[in-house]
Structure 1
Amino acid sequence: MTAHVAGEFDVVIAGMTRAADDVVLFDLALPSGVPLPRWQPGSHIDVLLPDGDARQYSLCGVPGEATWRIGVLREADGRGGSLWLHDRAVGDTITIAGPRNHFEFVPERGTSYLFIAGGIGITPISAMVASAASAGVDYRLEYAGRSRSTMALLDELSAAHPDRVSAYPADEGLRLDLEALFADLKPFTTTYCCGPARLIAAVEEAARGRQLKVERFEPKEFGPPVLAGPFEVELAYSGLVLEVPPERSVLDVIEEAGVLVLSSCREGTCGTCETPVMEGEVDHRDSILTPDEQAANTVMYPCVSRAACPRLLLEL
């Protein structure tokens, strides 16, 4: 299905650098040569594919530079986006949108930061580490991967942040001991984690309520929805009341009614379709909101989330 992505524009691939086995860094520039806008660590962009679909990639360069950088892992068994990108060449034009940020990092004095990355999850984390160093706050990076040859940016990060980076290549028999890590955690520490689903689940278990922010590259798994049957969504500005059957998403029903909602991943990971909730209880099934944000019940992602009550009133 074609993505409805806001703010699409063309960029030129200004550079391609092999960063690890199957990982290429793409430097992106405006064709005019005008510097791209500054971004915050944790931001991602959409890359639009020829079929109109979109893929999300974290920015991993330096905020404020004229170009943007993304790291792309070639996934032979993926959905095709990484293979298409790896077939591009320097000088090619691609269409992107963004940046957007649901994993924002703003260093604060008096707070220590623990960064945990697994595999290609290092891409957003690398910018956070650089930002923490520039701000002069206390930080450390724990980075796990299959082998050193698969761990993008490892050498660069180790050189730039001596004594602050610990690497755990599995093929060397090194394992990240999360229980010990969190047992020794300093007071007033916030943890940022990005990586495979198994790593994130293990970190969430070990953190046990401590300050933790995560970003997922794949959607969380959920059980059956709260409501097994249909429910209604009322669109406050459009004046429509729509029935959502069990087999369809809220987003699909809204779009079929002719109301445009910007969307991209359609799996609850990118945040593009964020919609304000005016009334009603949401069955949150996204992979973005924290438990506190879900409890606040002020926004939902209609590509995956549903109603936990007979009717939702949405600001659309």
Structure 2
Amino acid sequence: MFKRKFHAWLERYFYQPSVFDIIVSALLLPLSAIYYCIVWIKFKLSKVQKFPIPIISIGNLVLGGSGKTPLTKAIFNEFNHEFKTFIILRGYKRESKGMQIVALNGDIKCDVATSGDEAMEYATNLKNANIIVSNDRKIAINKAINLGAKLVILDDGFGKANIFKFNILLRPAKTPRLNFTIPSGVYRYPSSFYGLADFIPSSSDIIKKTTIINPQPKMVLMTAIANPSRLEFIFDKCIGHEFFADHHKFNKFECESILKNYNANSLLVTQKDYVKIKDFGLSVSILDLKTTISPNFANKIKLFIKSYQNSDKIYQTNQEGKIC
């Protein structure tokens, strides 16, 4: 209960601060200044490594979600038929250590505890999925290359300033009220870093369609995603909602209790939540978000891949001594 209240306060603090919250933010500004300097120095001093295959990064500058997961799915679906594509992510809140292959050519290699919820969402929702989780993205990229990867997508990869990549940055659906880095504001990277993006999609570049699988007349929304207010469009279809901290690990008892307390026919959950409760044997409805990218967006990525391939050919030719 405390965690849920704290999470609700944080969302208000970052996006709709009260007078008290603004005073707290002002008092924390010295810490934000120190944090800002550390991040700036990290980016400034990073030695960039270029890998032999193109790498696409999906990222954002703020804490919490901005739609990285559905966009990563959309880009995978767009390009995997032409280039064997791997999705690499940290696997936040997973119970495993080191690098783990979650899925290879659609064959799921581990359970959700080992992979983390986001990685398992990719593994179960993408055809011919290739998914690796690792705290060290460079090790994972090299593993993907050894497994035949021709394209890598880094989920939440913007902060990896030491990797050469095409940086796609997403803006949050709601603009933060306070334009500061944490803890005074919601920015984990300074807002000026939008200038480091290779592409910032507009609303017309990302096409979303949401349906409900197994809709029921009395559904209670239960979710453990960042910024659950993003699901506000569905609130009027539910008899209630229960929000948990991002990546919360559900247990069967609390799910049954929510169903009972609301006298609900089913739990309405996201795909990210579903992978953690699918074996509980409960009545579940699923928010199914289908995302595609515009031709303009796809062409931006295609141009990057093409230029990458051409530069690699020139490099190889130079190495062979054919061009002086």
Asked if TM exceeds 0.5, the reply is no
Q: Report the TM-score, using the length of structure 2 for normalisation.
A: 0.28
